[in-house]
Amino acid sequence: MDMDPSLEELVSFIAEQLVEAPDKVSVHRKETRRTTILKLRTAPSDTGRVIGRNGRVANAMRSLVHVAARDMDRPVILEID
């Protein structure tokens, strides 16, 4: 199964708008049997910006990924490192 690159681009775009070091943003894909995992990494000083207070920003990003991936044949999980 091919991962739609627009999901990775979506996560990367959103994260780059939130952080102070957009050049340190990276999104990597990991495929398992049943799920696709997107791993978002930022500079350590920017991690709090993409998680947000009480995880609100992270949850909003996960909701967007969920909606964007609804036509895929497997769930997509967003992890923030």
Contacts for 10 with CB less than 8 Å, ≥ 6 apart: 64, 65, 68
Side-chain half-sphere CA neighbours of 54 within 13 A: 1
Counting Cβ atoms within 10 Å, is residue 23 exposed (0-12), middle (13-18) or buried (19+)?
A: exposed
Beta strands in the chain (DSSP E): 26-31, 36-41, 76-80
Q: What is the pLDDT of residues 33-72, one digit of tens each?
A: 999 999 999 999 999 999 999 999 999 999 999 999 988 8
**CB neighbours (10 Å) of residue 15?**
23
Domains and CATH numbers, the chain: 5-80 (3.30.300.20)
What is the model's pTM? 0.88
